[in-house]
Amino acid sequence: MDYDVDVAIVGGGLSGLSAAITAAKNGLSVIVLERGDYSGSKNVSGGRMYVHSLKRLVGDKFKDAPLELPIKKETFEVYNNGRKTTFSFENKENDNSYSVLRSKFDRWLASEAENSGVAISYSTLVTNVRREDGIMVVESNRGDIRTPLVIESDGASSFVSRYLGLSDIGMNYKMENVKNLLGNNNFQAKNFMLGIKEIVERKAEDSAGEAKTILGLTDGIKGGGFVYTNKNSYSIGLTLKMDSLESNNIKSHEIIEKYRENLGMDGKILEYSAHLIPFYRYDYLPKRYDDNLLVTGDAAGFMLNDGFTIRGMDLAIESGMIAGNAAKKITDSKDYSDTYIYEKMLEDSFVLKDLKAASKISSLFGNERTFNVYPSIISNLIDTMFTVTDSPRENIKNVIRNEIKNNNISYFTVINDLLKVI
Amino acid sequence: MELIKRLGLNKNEVGNESHIAVNTDICINCTDKPCTKVCPAGTYEEDKEKILIVHYERCVECGAALLACPYGALKFHYPEKGISYMYG
């Protein structure tokens, strides 16, 4: 078999670079194909990373990582008709997660990868991937690369899988589903969210970061908001369910303007960005392996929200590292159709375990009650308890009962939803 | 801040050729035009005659429109240069 490299990795973001570093350390020859002029140039994330996987990936170099601030304070804000309910938790010792700006961070990780012997080809747009005589041919604007193993790290839109599933992309207007992987109907609006973000200048100088999760400022669209503190800026943004956005009459770029105004953030805007976010339920995750192919990070749909933590970046790094290790085993076995080994390794890791554990609560984020009914109940309840009038005071139990009744939902539904959280 | 000003904050190297093609024969019969709602960059707009206009130079390459188009009227490939975020 004649080929150029052991592994070609499409996409030089977190999962691609993690796969590349790991595969190179395992002695494989690796090339990363990155569409941007530099790693991170095309990347947007909310901006908070749980750093446990990164620490294992880079070891002592972790102290040099260009992270923003350690998140020491968690705040939840629920807005409803001019009212705001806030819950905060602070732990000065916390440093398990940091705010991060990907343009800077990914560039640094790419230089770490290059130091480990990884070749990165920038400004390289992959235009097609096809199988030929048992190996893969990756076509790009810089020429073809022949390799027995492709690691797909090209983000939520996962074009490599699309190319492989397409017979004739040039003739089709429709973005076809992946025909050769399981779950043909993956590329549907309901499986994605749109992330829209603004970077706003910040003048304060404290060195502790805060992560705010915000409900009730999405104009009735299913979704939520975030505010993360960086060193000299704030990352503010919204994650909006695509199917909800499509069926409403407000434009996404108007929602974020109103959102920033409602938050009262009037600092200078430095950047405006957007990105797709995978939002599969666990049982509907796309297939992550195929002959000659391992899929990592966002392309594999690895994003989870368990009501307390929202994670994508640590899952990206971990799945990349696992793919780099799986690549070594597959290369040694010379059986490039036996990529199931990658799936087994994912199953044994926290990646699939945590995704599965979060799946019950994830179903809450698909339902109307979470975004409209419960914020209203919480606000009304607290509002009533803090208000004194001529009418006799109601017992809190009665207030709760009335609120549930007024919103036309059953106790059973409320308890069922609550159980998903606990 | 106006959308166009917001987009102006970003570095976007726009090529001479559009990387987005729409089949306007299909779009003319699409009443909802979900692409115009989901696109965060206002790339897709309806003119007075209900014809879809594509401002490909505004595109931030997020992919939202690809999921939104119900009729497969959209053909998209990434541009060779395009958006480069400074913060991300």
Q: Which one, of A381, A375, A376, A379, lies nearest residue A402 by Cα?
A: A381
pLDDT in tens, A23-55: 999 999 999 999 999 999 999 999 999 999 999
| CATH number where A201 lies | 3.30.9.10
In a domain, B88, yes or no: no
Q: How far apart are CA A297 and CA A56, in angstroms?
A: 17
Chain A, 70 to 129: residues with Cβ < 8 Å from chain B are: 101-104, 106, 123, 125, 127
Q: Is there a single domain that holds both residue A178 and residue A195?
A: no
Q: Strand pairing partners for B22?
A: B74
Chain B nearest CA to A318, separation (Å): 21
Residue of B nearest to A176 (CA): B72
pLDDT of the residue at A375: 87
Show the domain range for A43: 7-47+101-186+282-348
Q: Is there a single domain that holds both residue A210 and residue A153?
A: no
Q: How far apart are CA A353 and CA A345, in angstroms?
A: 11
pLDDT of the residue at A185: 55
Show the domain range for B15: 3-81
- ipTM (interface predicted TM): 0.97
Chain A nearest CA to B70, separation (Å): 9
Q: Is there a single domain that holds both residue A233 and residue A272?
A: yes
Segment A45-69 mean pLDDT: 97
Segment A88-113 mean pLDDT: 97
Contact indicator for A130, A146 with CB cutoff of 8 Å: no
Q: Is there a single domain that holds both residue A233 and residue A374?
A: no
Segment B3-10 mean pLDDT: 96
Q: Is there a single domain that holds both residue A331 and residue A344?
A: yes
Residue of A nearest to B1 (CA): A257
DSSP symbols for A70-106 = BEEEEEEEEEETTEEEEEEEE-TT--SEEE--HHHHH
pTM for the predicted model, two decimal places: 0.93
Q: Is there a single domain that holds both residue A37 and residue A112?
A: yes
Q: Does residue A274 sit at the B interface (CB-CB below 8 Å)? A: yes
Q: Is there a single domain that holds both residue A26 and residue A129?
A: yes
CA A19 to chain centre: 17
A183 pLDDT band, cuts 50/70/90, is: very low
Is residue A259 pLDDT above 70, yes or no? yes
Rounded to 5°, the CA angle A150-A154-A156 comes to 130
pLDDT in tens, A272-324: 999 999 998 888 888 899 999 999 999 999 999 988 899 999 999 999 999 99
In a domain, A65, yes or no: no
Of A278, A312, A329, which residue sits at a domain end?
A278
pLDDT of the residue at A284: 83
Number of domains into which chain A is organized: 3
Is residue A181 pLDDT above 90, yes or no? no
CB atoms B63 and A174 under 8 Å = no
pLDDT of the residue at A207: 86
Query: Which residue of B1, B22, B33, B37 is the best one to mutate when testing the A interface, meaning the one whose CB has the most A CBs within 10 A?
Result: B37
In a domain, A324, yes or no: yes
Q: Is there a single domain that holds both residue A111 and residue A175?
A: yes
A365 pLDDT band, cuts 50/70/90, is: confident
Contact indicator for A151, A327 with CB cutoff of 8 Å: yes
| CATH number where A174 lies | 3.50.50.60
Segment B33-39 mean pLDDT: 95
Q: Is there a single domain that holds both residue A265 and residue A399?
A: no
Q: Is there a single domain that holds both residue A374 and residue A320?
A: no
Alpha carbon separation from A95 to A29, A72, A208 (Å, rounded): 35, 7, 10
Q: Is there a single domain that holds both residue A15 and residue A120?
A: yes
In a domain, B87, yes or no: no
pLDDT of the residue at A170: 34
Q: What percent of chain B has pLDDT over 70?
A: 100
Q: How far apart are CA A195 and CA A305, in angstroms?
A: 14
Segment B37-55 mean pLDDT: 95
Q: How far apart are CA A91 and CA A89, in angstroms?
A: 7
Number of domains into which chain B is organized: 1
Eight-class DSSP state of B68: H
Give the least confident one: A196-205, A341-350, A403-412, B44-53.
A403-412
Q: How far apart are CA A198 and CA A262, in angstroms?
A: 14
Name the interface residues of B facing A (CB cutoff 8 Å).
1, 3, 6-7, 9-10, 21, 23, 26, 32, 34, 36-42, 60-64, 66-69, 72-78, 80-88
Chain A nearest CA to B29, separation (Å): 16
In a domain, B86, yes or no: no
pLDDT of the residue at A186: 65
Q: What is the mean pLDDT of chain A?
A: 91
Of A247, A278, A309, which residue sits at a domain end?
A278
Segment A151-170 mean pLDDT: 75
pLDDT in tens, A225-253: 999 999 999 999 999 999 999 989 999 99
| CATH number where B8 lies | 3.30.70.20
Per-residue b/e over A335-367, b at no fewer than 16 CB within 10 Å? ebeebebbbebbeebebbebbeebbebbebbee
Is residue B57 pLDDT above 70, yes or no? yes
Of A348, A376, A401, which residue sits at a domain end?
A348
In a domain, A408, yes or no: yes
Is residue A345 pLDDT above 90, yes or no? yes
Segment B64-88 mean pLDDT: 90
In a domain, B9, yes or no: yes
Q: Is there a single domain that holds both residue A35 and residue A156?
A: yes
Is residue A187 pLDDT above 80, yes or no? no
In a domain, A409, yes or no: yes
